[in-house]
Every structure is written in C-alpha cells, then in structure tokens.
Structure 1
C-alpha cells in the first residue's frame, strides 16, 4: 500500500519594507537564496528598486502611518494567499512599525523580531549605554540631554569635539529641520547648544546623547552582526572592518566599504550582552577601535540586518537563510545546516571568510584607505575579484537600471569631493595616531 501523498510545500513570499540600498540588498539575498521575487514596499520608487527584474515594487505614500501600512500589507497578503509570508524592514522605524502592529499582521505574516519592550530598550542609546556599563562592555563616555525639557547639558566631563545623536532613531525619523544628520560631530559648546535648540524647535521630544569623540578616521569603525535563536542563544556572527563610511548628509555614517574577518573578543562581548537580555533574531552593532587604549567601543545596537547587510551575503553566508530556516521551517538554525558545507565558519559560528563589500567604485574607495597595509588588502581583494557591490547583480539587465547605476557610481566622486575631501580624511587619520 502506497504512502498517502503529502501536501505540496507552500512557496515563500518575502515582503521588504524600505527603498534604500539595505532594502534592495535584502530583496537580492532572498532572490539569490530561493529564486523568489520579493515585494518591496516604500513611499516612492527609488532608483535602487526602479526597473528591477528581481522584485516587485509597491508604493505606499503613507508608509509612516500605521493603519495605511497595515492595510497595504494585508492587501499584499491577499494577493499571495498561497504563500508563506515574511515581512522585514530595512530601517529601525520600519522594524518598529512591524513590531508595534504585530497583532494585526502575524495571522498572515511571520514577523522575525523581538517583542516591543525589548526592542525599545535596546535601541535606545541611553539604555544601551547603561547595559554596557552593567556588563563591563566598553562604551563612550556619554551625557544624556532631555531635549524637550530644555536647559543645557553638563559637558564638563567631555572634551570637544564631541559626537551628538538622537537616542531613538525611530522617533528622530519623524522630525525634519535644516541640516538634519544621523550623527553630528560638534566642535564647541556654543555649536552644541545651537544644534539642540534646532532639534527642539523641530519637535523632537526625546533625548540626545552627547559622547566622547574617539580619534581616527572611518577605518577605525567596525561592524558586527549576530543571529540568536528562539531560545536567545547566539548561533552566528559576522564581523567586519569598515574602510570608509558615507558622508552625504542623508546617509552619513553608513559603511561604504567593509572587509569581513574574525574578531573573537568582540563577538564574545556581543554574545554576553545578547544572551543576558534574551535577544532573538538579528542584532547589528556599530563599534570603533580606540587607539588610545586598544579597546573596541560599542556604540549602539540595531534590531535588524543593517543597511550594509550584504557584507555578510557577499562573503558567502546568505543572511536571510536564518530567517527562513528557523522562523518559517521551524528547524534548528545550526549555522552549517543553514549555510552549507562550503562556508568557512569557526567552531562557534563566526564567519571566517575575507571578502570586500563596497558600494563605491574601487578606485574611489582606495583613494580613502590611507593605511598602507589595509590599502594593500583592499586592492588585493579587488584584483582577485573577492569583492561585491550589492547593486550590481547578474540578473539585473534592464538598460534603464544599468544607466542609473552607472550615473550613481560616478556621482559618488562628486559627493565625496563635496562632503568629505581626501584632506579631511587625512586630518582625521592623523588624530588616531
């Protein structure tokens, strides 16, 4: 007697919120791993998703309004009733929107993020600093200022220049004012007070963190991404040495070039923090190497795969596979089972491949890598074709998209010349010596 026929497997349908390079990178990762065509939802069709053949773009002009977003996502689910749907966000505020509306969505979607209380706690830079202090993890000297309360912050324990940024990036997303940046480098106390006044007048009611400026140029920055299973155990980690960040105001501080590598010390500190709070899913950390004492300093936690998430996938460890393996298939996310036998991993799940991620033309990137040894490594990876730009994908051959990307790549030369000339990079590099 033959065995009864099993029910056919349901297809996978990812839905990605956002229209930036992080959203496109997530869509590409799903396409590479599973051959699916993700739906990408953003307020407008940006050049990064326009004319793409690997995704379907859906415009939702009111994406920042909860009811409109939920209605749009449920309408998409109705069109894909035969699929297992997963919704992911490319920015903190989009992840927060999914989490805050989980009860209206998870009958149709898998939402692979932590509960709201944990998300709010760990993504608030003030709370994150307290946790680092509690666990003995290096964190910049920080002053927290209540913007709505007014007054003047006590900066007597800091030396200018300092770094200033909103404690909650999700709340900061909702305000606009001239000169708005993700992160400000502030040269004097009068300049700081003027900035805080502008932020308050724009309607931001949260707190601002004012931090010690760690010397050195962009190449002092590091990035770490960890995946924790449903029991809160860290199973996978990918460390990267940032070569250069973006410097145009709207993208300031985002990595433009990363070399992957192994750094057990940093991974173990992140593991201690994440397992202490019971984090699940992805966490992305920004760090910087402090040449004054040789420590790696943790700045913040992002509750998602970061904007530069393709630094992991490009190195051979397709990051979205963990989502599907555990959250949709219900399997144990053992890294070798998730990623395959050919991906180089340490015994504790740390990605061991050396690979270059870049969103810039190679010659422009090399112009800003001032350390001779690091420049030689970067050039070697470019020459050996162990480098990936997430926007250039062999399945994307629409001539209108190719033309856009060529122009966008050339525009990077103009933007860096305007916002971050090489002389400025050399001056910062000198401070780290």
Structure 2
C-alpha cells in the first residue's frame, strides 16, 4: 500500500476548507515538554494541511518529533523573563516564519502575554480580539471568582487570604477539606504556593504545605465531595465578531492526581444546559477565541459550578469534534482567516491519556471496589499519544515518562534511606 493511500484510509477527512497559506504558531510559557494538548494541536492542523510551528524545550520532545510539525523553535519561556523580552522573541519567531501566522496559546501565561501585547504582535500574528485585560483576570483564581459573582454564575465559595493567619482562619471557620490553587498566572511559575491543585484534609497538612511565615499567593476554595459531584468541562470557540459561540461539553471520568489533576479519561457528551451556561458567560464578558472551562455538578443543589476558566486551548480539546471534523483550534483558524465556519452537532466519543490513566484507574477501582468505566478504549477513542499516522510522539513520550518515573523512584528511595539511618 502506498503512503498516500494509507493516509487516505487512516486519517479523518474533515469537511472544512482552511487557508493553507496561513500558518500557526503554538505559543507556550513554562516547562512542560510532555503535553498532549500541544501534540493534539499539531496533529489537528497538520492533518488538514495547515503549516504549524511550535515552541519546544528541545528537539526531542513529543511535539518536536511529530510528522505534522512544519518547524520548531527551541525558545522556551520560563515565565521569569521580562514581558518585553518575550514579546521581542515572539516578533523574532514571527519574522522567521516569514508571513502572518495564527498564534495559539497553550497555557494561561501565553494567553495573557498575547492579549496584553496584541498591538505589538499584530505585525506578525493573527490574534483573537479578546479584551486585553480579560485573560489575566480569568486566569487569576480570585478574579474568576469575582466575575462569577458579578454575573450570577454558580461557583464554589473561595477566599484569597492576605496572610498566613488569615489562611489558618479560613480552615478554622469553614472546616476541612479545602482546595488550594495557585492564585495568579506567572506567579505560579515564579513562586508557586502548591505544585498543582491540592486538597488539604486538616490544618496539619495545610501547615506542612504552607508553614508559618510564608506569604503564599494562593486561593482557598470550597471542597465539593466527589461522591456528591460530577466533573464536567466545556471547550469553546467564541467568534471574533461576537456571534454565538461554538460550545462542546464533556464528562471527566478520571484524572491524575485523582480529583485534582489533568484529565486522563473523558467522554464527549451533549449537555445543552451546561453549554448554555458557558455560552452566556462568555458572551456577557466579551470573551473571544478558544477557552477551556471546568465545571462541577453539585448533586446536593443540582447546580453546575464553575471551578476554572482557562483562556486558551485545553489539554484534552481533541476529545471534541463536530460531525464535520471541526474542533476549537480549527474553528479559530477559520475565523481569523475569514473562512466560513461550519456548524454541526458534536460527536460522542472518548479520550484517553494511556500511561497516566493506568494509576488513575487503579485508584478509582480501589476506592469504588469495582472496575472503572472505559477501562478499555472504545471504538473511536481519541488517544492522546499513540496514533497510526503519527507514532513518533508516543515513542518520545514513553522515553520521557520512563525517565520521570525513575527519577521519582530514586528520590523516594533516598528519602526512605535517610529516615532509616541511625542517629
């Protein structure tokens, strides 16, 4: 079988007509070489013939070895740089591409950077016309809480303590468990209070994470018990002209770490009530571009509560696709290049992050005392890493994942040996 006939049989054939003369640059701030969302974006654009470039940590990341990547720039931003230096670097990358490109943010900091400096970057990039200050406010956890209150959107109670005594007072007054999140974009990279969204069960655990004398930039959020809740998410594309958003809805089945980490297994399921909630909020605040919103259905009061608003492409966005083969990044490209954006119902399918879903499924089975849902991939499951038409990223991820596990095991062993040494 020829290569062309193999591709014709294995690759999806979307019913959209992109402008293949306009490339894409995937913009990132921070160190996360093992990111399935970035690989998904490369594949999504590459499969429809759109040239796609990416900022990478090195030449051997899963993104960098994808067959669909047109070119990579080993110019990672740490988030510690002066914004002017990052803008100058992006302008340099735009000049290297040689023609205006659609810029797609793959993290909150990149979204903030692109929005706040759109005027300086407009010569080289096509950008969604989002209000410049809005992505920073949405990515700020306290800012999002206040937006929800302003627009009567259900959200868990939350507090941004001004000091350590106030932090302790929240637990004493409202009880445990509580959820801790890094408060602001960029600060989470420079001086993170916690490594990721963290559930603390009591004051002792809180003091272990945030000892006296610390001045953490942290949001404390009400804990919604998983046995009384469901995790849902919406991915949206909000058109540049402010017309009706395209909203996808899905159910999160598992995550790693459990209950507070990245999605490892999910299903795309139509949910008109949730779609309307997300669309109304984005319309009211004037949002434009791609967004990823996390919700929790609180069965105690029957309300969907917004827990996170990510003003950029989400890691699991490829679970969502319409019957015409449209996802949120393809919609963004069509919109910003003046092409028609077809509208059709979303497909019902599943998404999985193989190596991370194994421990997530094991914990779920131990807690529930039964086999977890979707333990075996369904037909049509969107796999984050291994695909027939682009296997190299899965191989690169396997190497890095093995190295990460080995390093953590060595550190755990060293800590254990130190505790066993005689005084």
TM range (shorter): 0.7 to 0.9
* Structure 2 residue 38 is the aligned partner of structure 1 residue 23: yes
How many residue pairs are counted as aligned between the two chains? 380
Is this contact kept in 2: 1:242–1:258, CA < 8 A? yes
Q: Distance in 2 between matches of 1:14 and 1:60?
A: 16
**Residues 5-404 of structure 1 aligned to structure 2 (within 5 Å):** 11-18=21-28, 19=33, 20-33=35-48, 35-45=49-59, 47-55=61-69, 56-62=71-77, 64=79, 65=81, 66-81=83-98, 83-112=99-128, 114-147=130-163, 152-176=168-192, 180-197=194-211, 200=214, 206=217, 208-216=218-226, 220-247=230-257, 253-313=261-321, 316-329=325-338, 331=339, 333=341, 335-336=342-343, 343=344, 345=345, 351=346, 353-360=347-354, 364=358, 367=362, 375=372, 378=374, 382-383=377-378, 385-398=379-392, 401-404=393-396
Q: Distance in 2 between matches of 1:218 and 1:242?
A: 14
Is this contact kept in 2: 1:144–1:153, CA < 8 A? no
CA deviation map 1:120-148 (0-9, x unaligned)? 22222222222323333221122221259
- CA 1:263–1:389 in 2, change beyond 3 Å: closer, same or farther? same
TM-score by length of 1: 0.76
Q: Distance in 1 between matches of 2:303 and 2:213?
A: 32
How big is the shift at 1:154?
3.3
- CA 1:176–1:301 in 2, change beyond 3 Å: closer, same or farther? closer
Is this contact kept in 2: 1:84–1:328, CA < 8 A? no
Residue 224 of structure 1 aligns to a residue whose secondary structure is strand
How big is the shift at 1:221?
1.5
Is this contact kept in 2: 1:15–1:86, CA < 8 A? yes
- CA 1:303–1:415 in 2, change beyond 3 Å: closer, same or farther? farther
- CA 1:310–1:187 in 2, change beyond 3 Å: closer, same or farther? same
Unmatched tracts of structure 2, length 5 or more: 1-18, 411-423
Residue 60 of structure 1 aligns to a residue whose secondary structure is coil
Is this contact kept in 2: 1:181–1:252, CA < 8 A? no
TM-score by length of 2: 0.77
- CA 1:70–1:362 in 2, change beyond 3 Å: closer, same or farther? closer
